[in-house]
Chains A and B, each alone.
Chain A
């Protein structure tokens, strides 16, 4: 009986380790997507960051996306597929659904 409990515990541990591993590789993939597609406008000193600086003036919200604490994963996905002002939307040959999920995970969990 005790041996079975150990077995179950071990299995649970292993399972959570794989979940953790796949989440962390998704997170890394998300960072790669960000560096390839987003950073050129949303990096420090870049045009979208300058624009967001004006939007968030007087608040404690950072204009730098990678510093944001409250970004919602679905919001990130929506903006990538719908664009905003002069930011166009991205096709699936550019950012596929899997990459988009990773990007959303990266931006929504990075500072939590």
Chain B
């Protein structure tokens, strides 16, 4: 036996003999080259942002298998069933902050679909695409530009992920509302079920259907939702709706002077967004210093000057005295030049009537197509579907700030309501105070606005690959935050594997009926419990005892 086999991580509940036999079969299916079993190769599937880095609980896979076709995926699933091997599918595996390319549990075999990278169709007359899981946002964008197609894809901030992987984890983006919801914006799916059978949903169930990616429902129950944030199958194809490239693009900045102006501001923006007058609204507070720069010491002192908590009156007075707007919202507008100009005028009128001291200013104004120079200088490239990785500024070294190893996202959904946001700030600040920590939230922390009918009030907790204590503390704070948020009716939309049980656990209406329903389904369609055990808080019967009693 080689040294490598001695130190081998085994899949949960599988003995070494069976595992070695299964590896041989996987090698027959995909070829030796595409079965990664050495420690060196398997470790490339670790979660670089793991909250358990280098601890016994860290979910390092036992093996990774990289098929090239749907048929190979089906064969892999059959072998996994035979040996009861837990397998964990990833598409591009760039889920940083929510698990990266690692599985949910130590020992699960990763099925890496990166090699399945066919762009099956992009249609710029009926505005959709059909993709395999390994197609990244960069790949799709390059294909569109090389073929001079008149559509754009709604994308998340990092461009190296995939429409399939991102949408299956309920990811979000930056165009008009309906496109930003990446799962909601998909249309049609092909899935390998846990027994290895191939299923197409909606119109795709009709052999020869011509509208796989155009009509979401087909006939009968809508089952696509079962395959997101869950473990009922491996998705091998998905359709998505795309937005036609607009003729004109304008970026406008709305500023208001007072904290409470947020309340009417949100109401107006909700109207503008839900009427498709504006696209994504980026809420910010200019009171925050530029990234990596220190906060003004006077302002900083007011964050704790009222018995250890913020003095909101003093902060407001500071903003007014220094003529710093309390809130600033960047909004993008799309359409014809005249229509966009008319909408800007309408916005100016509405805000000036409703909020004293508010301003609406155009900051970018372009006819499309953009030149390469214009593309490069765009303030928010994602609002025109141009993939990039610039968002990584938020973890890099700043002038006054060390570099981070990454983030673990805490992402609760709260109502799209100014008053509720201010309340949420207060509750989080109180929670940090009770934990005896410096608050990561201030009275000018802004909401995230990808969800077009709700806010997300997010915190990026720093992880470490050097210091286990930082991770331990972070896990404690994260867990507390989930509970505090749930008490107020706020629940996370997404979570990294170590927190999926606790997050799904607060969605417990009527004695956990939602979870019990999912478990019944799991036991029926995946009786051997092989697909991504524990993903989304759903455990198969054979593992329910130890992890989720």
B115 interface contact, C-beta 8 A = yes
Contacting B at CB under 8 A, from A57-112, are 81, 83, 85-94
The minimal Cβ–Cβ distance linking A87 to chain B, given in whole angstroms, is: 8
Contacting B at CB under 8 A, from A31-50, are 36-37, 40-41, 46-48, 50
Nearest CB to that of B41 among chain A residues? A92
Nearest CB to that of A96 among chain B residues? B33
Contacting A at CB under 8 A, from B379-419, are 388-390, 392-393, 395-399, 403-407
A67 to B34, CA, bound (A): 35
Flag if B41 contacts A89 (CB, 8 Å): no
A46 to B158, CA, bound (A): 13
**Neighbouring B residues of A85 by C-beta, 8 Å:** 395-397, 403-406
B108 interface contact, C-beta 8 A = no
Flag if A40 contacts B388 (CB, 8 Å): yes
Nearest CB to that of B96 among chain A residues? A88
The minimal Cβ–Cβ distance linking A40 to chain B, given in whole angstroms, is: 4
A14 interface contact, C-beta 8 A = no
Interface-centre pick from B49, B96, B389, B395 (highest chain A CB count, 10 A): B389
Given contacts A48-B396, A83-B48, A89-B48, contact A94 B114 (CB under 8 A): yes
Flag if B112 contacts A93 (CB, 8 Å): yes
Interface size class for chain A? 20 to 34
A76 to B173, CA, bound (A): 32
The minimal Cβ–Cβ distance linking A54 to chain B, given in whole angstroms, is: 5
Q: How many residues of B contact A (CB 8 A)?
A: 37
B159 interface contact, C-beta 8 A = yes
Flag if B66 contacts A47 (CB, 8 Å): no
Nearest CB to that of A42 among chain B residues? B389
Q: Which of the residues A48, A86, A90 comes within 8 Å of B44, measured between beta carbons? A: A90
B250 interface contact, C-beta 8 A = no
A51 interface contact, C-beta 8 A = yes
Given contacts A40-B388, A93-B66, contact A47 B112 (CB under 8 A): no
Nearest CB to that of A49 among chain B residues? B396
Q: Which of the residues B45, B397, B406 comes within 8 Å of A54, measured between beta carbons? A: B397
Q: Which of the residues B96, B388, B396, B404 comes within 8 Å of A50, measured between beta carbons? A: B396
The minimal Cβ–Cβ distance linking B147 to chain A, given in whole angstroms, is: 18
Given contacts A47-B396, A48-B396, A91-B112, contact A86 B403 (CB under 8 A): yes
Flag if B100 contacts A88 (CB, 8 Å): yes
Nearest CB to that of B407 among chain A residues? A86
Flag if A86 contacts B399 (CB, 8 Å): no
**Neighbouring A residues of B114 by C-beta, 8 Å:** 91, 93-94
Q: Which residues of B contact A (CB under 8 A)?
A: 34, 36, 40-41, 44-46, 48-49, 64, 66, 93-94, 96, 100-101, 112, 114-115, 138, 159-160, 388-390, 392-393, 395-399, 403-407
**Which 5 pairs of residues, A with B, have the shortest CB-CB distance?**
A86-B395, A88-B48, A40-B389, A51-B396, A93-B114
Contacts A85-B403, A86-B49, A88-B94 aside, 10 further interface pairs with beta carbons under 8 A come to: A47-B393, A50-B393, A50-B396, A81-B44, A85-B405, A88-B100, A91-B101, A93-B66, A93-B115, A94-B114
CB<8 Å pairs between A and B, sample of 17: A41-B392, A54-B397, A81-B40, A85-B403, A85-B404, A86-B395, A86-B396, A88-B48, A88-B94, A88-B96, A88-B100, A89-B44, A91-B44, A91-B93, A92-B36, A92-B44, A93-B66
